Structure formats: C-alpha cells, structure tokens
Amino acid sequence: MEKIIIKGLKLFAYHGVNPEEKVDGQNFVLDITALLNVDKAKQTDNINDTVSYARILKTARAVFCAEKYDLIETAANKVGMAIMNEYPTIDSVTVLLMKPEAPIKAEFEYVAVEETINREDLV
C-alpha cells in the first residue's frame, strides 16, 4: 500500500459559525493522504494506472470552495467523501483541515480536525 500525499494545500473559503467568516472568508490549509495500491503503475509507469495527485487536489479544491459550511468537520468530510467517490482505487483518505486564522482570542498556530474515511466503511 502506498500513499499519495498533498501537504499544505492553501485555500481561501467561507467556512465558520460566525457571520463574518461567511462574509469575509479566511485561509485554510489541508493535508490530504490517500492510501492505494500502485503496483500496476510502478510496472507500467503510466499515470492512468494510479490516481494523479493533481486530480485529487483539483477535487479537493472544487468541493472545499463550492459551499459555505459552519463546521470544519463538515468541510473535511465533504472533501474526503468526494475523493473516495471519485477515485474508487483509493482504499482510504485522511484529511487534516487546519484553520490558522480562527477567530479565537489566543495565540496558536492553527486549530484543526482530522478525518479518515476507509473504503470498507462506505458500504
């Protein structure tokens, strides 16, 4: 089993429970790790025998920016589910969604949620 990793995907979106978050928006950072078998791709050296990280990134961006969610838990789940639904050869995906500019009166690097979705859990 191999991993396709997208680390530090920076996206601007309008997620949050506070009204100003839905109006002003803010920066988010996603780490996405997809587990899949790429044995065939290693033999053929053909992009069609794996899942392109560029396509995963494109799916994540489209889903993440399509709507405004109150909870980052919901946004992370939507991204993970879209990846699993679009790429059936992926066995599991983990989405770490970081919110570095959360409107909290504290000094912090980011707040985050992490969700892992397994293929066998989708049945």
Question: DSSP character for 38?
Answer: -
pLDDT digits (tens, 9 = 90+) for 16-60: 999 999 999 999 999 999 999 999 999 999 999 999 999 999 999
Catalytic, out of 58, 68, 99, 105: 99
The per-residue pLDDT for range 89-99, each reduced to its tens digit, is 999 999 999 99
CATH number for 49: 3.30.1130.10
Number of domains observed in the structure of the chain? 1
**What confidence tier does 10 reach under pLDDT thresholds 50, 70, 90?**
very high
99 part of the active site: yes
- List the domain range (segments joined by +) for residue 55: 2-122
> Read out DSSP for 1-13?
-EEEEEEEEEEEE
Q: Model-level pTM? A: 0.94
pLDDT bucket at 121, cuts 50 / 70 / 90? confident
Tokens of 54: 């560029």
Residue that the structure tokens 């959360």 belong to: 102
Instruction: List Cβ neighbours of 33 (8 Å cut-off, separation of 6 or more).
Output: 3, 4, 5, 6, 93, 94
- Render pLDDT for 59-92 as a digit per residue (tens, 0 to 9): 999 999 999 999 999 999 999 999 999 999 999 9
